[in-house]
Amino acid sequence: MNKIVILLVDDEKSILKALRRTLFEYPYEIVIVSSSLEAKQFLTGNQIDMIISDYKMPDENGFELLSFVRDKYPEVIRIMLSGYVEKEVVLETMFSCAAVTFFPKPWDDEKLLSRITELIEIKKSIEDGDLWEKINSDTFFSMTSGLSKRINLIDKSKSHNEELGEIISSDIFLLFRVARLVSSDYFSSRSEFDLNKAINIIGADNILNLSQKIPISDYSVPSPYSIMPDIFLSYYGTIFKLMFRSGKTEPLKVYLPFIYLYNYLLLQIDTGLYNKQVITLVDNGIPIKSSDSVRGIFRTILHLCRLPEHFLEYCDKVETDESPSMQTALKLRNLIELFWWSDKMPVNHSFYTIPDEILKSIYTDVQELKKSQL
């Protein structure tokens, strides 16, 4: 088994010695360089698993170096260290996925070693190297042009925490950027993730400014997951009342982002398999089922964002929860997918227990949203 290779970058020899001493007892191959230029030269002809870089260096700062590594070598795990740096730089470094996390100098040996081990194990758990590169890059957590417009329309002269919270909670990728940032080692708090608290900790203005730099995706194939939030919000309550009359049930605010992510991962991991499942869905009206690999990748993303353990439980909940709320959400998801992939409104489908005018209304909305993306 090949050793894990870690590249250490710092212009201070004492820091490099201290890091090497910290990692000495672990089965890692340590390479040390004293500048960004040397790091790039080494990367040209060698493979590494992780890079740990200082921020302040004479030739090029750590943010620029790690951004370069993110773009050219997305498989490499990236960590930044610094004794003092402006908060805005730290936020941009992690929000842009240039670094997975940020440790202050002097660092806590136990915490640093624990984090290194955790990240290496996460990477090992993903068998699909191409997908790991996507998760570890900036483009995976991209933004649609529609979401970008909503953020640009926020009035910065007023208090906008509530409006920003609604936007973040409606988009799984923006939510994960925020969660990944606020749960990083830069912030000492390890309390349970709360979106409102996260906005206050990071700062609404900071999030708005950072969001302007998120890559905008131009989808080359139809992407039903990206339009689901609007349709869920519009029709979930109505569908629920019609399909289940079992009394009052809690809304699906927590579950929905996880359902969106499942659909996205299905598209990313195996398009061929996904298309076959869609055809089966159209023919038989059965739910699309997630594979074990999807669940594994799903857990990996949540771990990278360091969300609480109960978030991870939803990996299994999505597939096993038999409650009326979850079953309604899954059926509505499948109906939206069915309408997305159909050139005309299908007939003789199990969903046709729902009144015809509601089905037609959903179909019309799906087609309109589909046209706007193509």
Average pLDDT over residues 62-89: 91
**pLDDT for 334-344, tens place per residue?**
777 778 777 78
Task: Give just the sign of the alpha carbon dihedral 304, 307, 313, 318.
Answer: negative
> Could you tell me which of 171, 97, 101 has the C-alpha nearest to residue 136?
97
User: Do 186 and 263 share a domain, yes or no?
Assistant: no
Domain boundary residue among 62, 94, 127? 127
Query: What is the extent of the structural domain holding 322?
Result: 224-373
The number of folded domains in the chain is 3
User: Do 198 and 237 share a domain, yes or no?
Assistant: no
Residue 111 sits in a domain whose CATH number is: 3.40.50.2300
Contact 250, 173 (CB under 8 A): no
Average pLDDT over residues 194-210: 87
Least confident of 166-180, 188-202, 247-261: 247-261
d(CA 190, CA 283): 48
Beta 77-82 vs 28-33: how paired, if at all? unpaired
> Could you tell me which of 371, 367, 337, 365 has the C-alpha nearest to residue 238?
365
Does 53 reside within a domain? yes
Q: Identify the band that residue 125 occupies on the pLDDT scale cut at 50, 70 and 90.
A: confident
The single-letter code of the amino acid at 63 is: F
Would residue 64 be called left, alpha or beta, if left means φ above 0 and alpha means ψ between -120 and 50 degrees?
alpha
pLDDT greater than 50 at residue 249: no
- Residue 222's pLDDT is 41
Average pLDDT over residues 45-62: 92
User: Do 61 and 104 share a domain, yes or no?
Assistant: yes
Contact 54, 11 (CB under 8 A): yes
- Residue 246's pLDDT is 40
pLDDT greater than 60 at residue 84: yes
DSSP string, 88-111: HHHHHHHHTTS-SEEEESSPPHHH
User: Do 228 and 334 share a domain, yes or no?
Assistant: yes
Contact 333, 359 (CB under 8 A): no
Domain boundary residue among 96, 127, 158? 127
- Residue 251's pLDDT is 40
> Could you tell me which of 302, 95, 66 has the C-alpha nearest to residue 211?
95
Q: Identify the band that residue 259 occupies on the pLDDT scale cut at 50, 70 and 90.
A: low
Contact 259, 318 (CB under 8 A): yes
User: Do 153 and 274 share a domain, yes or no?
Assistant: no
Running DSSP on this structure, what letter comes out for residue 49? S
- Residue 219's pLDDT is 43
What average pLDDT does the chain have? 76
- Residue 31's pLDDT is 95
Average pLDDT over residues 40-55: 94
**pLDDT for 5-20, tens place per residue?**
999 999 999 999 999 9
pTM reported for the whole predicted model = 0.72
- Residue 61's pLDDT is 92
